[in-house]
Amino acid sequence: MNKQPAVTPRKLLAIAGMGWLFDAMDVGILSFIIAALHADWNLTPDQMKWIGSVNSIGMAAGAFVFGMLADRIGRKKVFMITLLFFSVGSGISAFATGLTVFLILRFLIGMGLGGELPVASTLVSEASAPEKRGRIIVLLESFWAAGWLLAAVISYFVIPSFGWRAALLLTALAALYALILRRSLPESPAHQALSQKKSIRGQAGSVWAKPYSRQTVLLSVVWFCVVFSYYGMFLWLPSVMLMKGYSMIESFEYVLLMTLAQLPGYFSAAWLIEKAGRKTLLVIYLLGTAGSAYFFGAADSLGMLLAAGMLLSFFNLGAWGVLYAYTPEQYPAAIRATGSGTAAAVGRIGGIFGPLLVGSLAARNVSFTAVFAVFCAAILIAVITILILGKETKQTELAQ
């Protein structure tokens, strides 16, 4: 067995977290680029909706394929592959000259992004002590907020002056990071300890068979509802502001302010998760998300838009952190990445329909109050499912 480099939990969190930061920067910039392409390529709402949805189709495929692959060849190798997938794709997409080519590249970028997130959370979860695991995973998720903030800053200063292509080229810097990461990221000790690995078919079947079918149903429903709502709402935030009559620069500025609230959302969840537990905290933050979504859609003034948008960022991203901590804890090491990837893949299907729904309803002049009420209802379905099927996993040892 090859000797692994010694990496402290803090350094591992930083290494994996930087991967998440670049992922979030890519997705965050995409939400601003959709608004920029609307003006640059004269896209209709029906065309705009496909950009976010194709990205989610790729994420669904990537989460499922790379999740299973991580249980076969290791978390580290798959983490590296997925990082290069999306970073190189981002650089190439900066040179796209039409919507069709851009959509193909967004599918490939989405595959890398969708595969990297559940694999990274599985790796960090397996390397963390039970009493600190939940907090560490939520802190890992907080890098997502940092990436979104960086995306908002780049979009605010770069896109109006230099165009969306320059913004995409900046995200391609993640490829350089991936080369550095290759030398310092350790393999998961839980994966190395496996004496026998299941076949791909066995992995896929095990997560739906007893005794794990309940967990898989629970996570699939929750992930679908959360991702459906998140991508439906957040990918369209700049465009919604534009449609409400604000200029592009004003829209980017207001979304940047809303995005700032993500960080306290993560940090509060990280502080509470080992005290309140995963199940209780997830329900609380999802209820906050549902209420904020409704009031954002119904807002009729700038003050109300900003307040509801900031609360939406706070609760929704805090809930994401808890969900990423909760998911790997449901499965043993042999199928942990497969289970996490399967739940994420089902969730990404929701991410396909969320942006499509907003685009379709916006093209038919349906009020944003009605649109965001749909997202509110989806989050409430997730809450009910957690209350019925969810089990607490606070400070439990991961099954080997």
CATH number of the 9-185+208-389 domain: 1.20.1250.20
Q: Residue 367 is inside which H or E element, if any?
A: none
- Work out the average pLDDT over 211-226: 94
Express each pLDDT in 32-55 by its tens digit.
788 788 888 888 877 887 887 788
Domain boundaries, the chain: 9-185+208-389
Tell me if 155 sits within 8 A of 262, measured CB to CB: no
Decide if pLDDT at 177 tops 80. Answer: no
Residue 155's identity, in one-letter code, is: S
Greatest Cα pair distance, the chain, in angstroms, is 62
Instruction: Please tell me which residue, 141 or 251, carries the higher pLDDT value.
Output: 141
pLDDT of residue 175: 63
Of 7-16, 140-149, 180-189, the range with the lowest mean pLDDT is 180-189
C-alpha span between 297 and 374 (Å, rounded) = 10
pLDDT of residue 198: 66
Express each pLDDT in 77-109 by its tens digit.
888 888 888 878 888 988 988 899 999 999 998
Cβ neighbour number for residue 387 with a 10 Å cutoff: 10
pLDDT of residue 16: 82
pLDDT of residue 289: 96
Of 66-80, 169-183, 221-235, the range with the lowest mean pLDDT is 169-183
Report percent pLDDT > 70 for the chain.
Answer: 94
Phi, psi of 214 (to 5 degrees): -60, -45
Instruction: Please tell me which residue, 385 or 244, carries the higher pLDDT value.
Output: 385
| pLDDT band per the 50, 70, 90 thresholds, residue 1 | very low
| Ordered alpha helix ranges (H), 127-261 | 130-157, 159-162, 164-171, 174-184, 189-192, 200-206, 213-234, 237-243, 248-260
pLDDT of residue 355: 77
Report percent pLDDT > 90 for the chain.
Answer: 26
Q: Residue 375 is inside which H or E element, if any?
A: helix 368-389
Q: Which of 71-80, 139-148, 201-210, 302-311 has the highest mean pLDDT?
A: 302-311
Tell me if 85 sits within 8 A of 115, measured CB to CB: yes
Does the pTM exceed 0.85?
Answer: no
* DSSP assigned state of 396: P
- Work out the average pLDDT over 162-187: 75
- From the list 244, 222, 253, the residue with the least C-alpha distance to 372 is 244
C-alpha span between 109 and 114 (Å, rounded) = 9
Decide if pLDDT at 187 tops 50. Answer: yes
Express each pLDDT in 296-310 by its tens digit.
888 888 888 899 989
| pLDDT band per the 50, 70, 90 thresholds, residue 195 | low
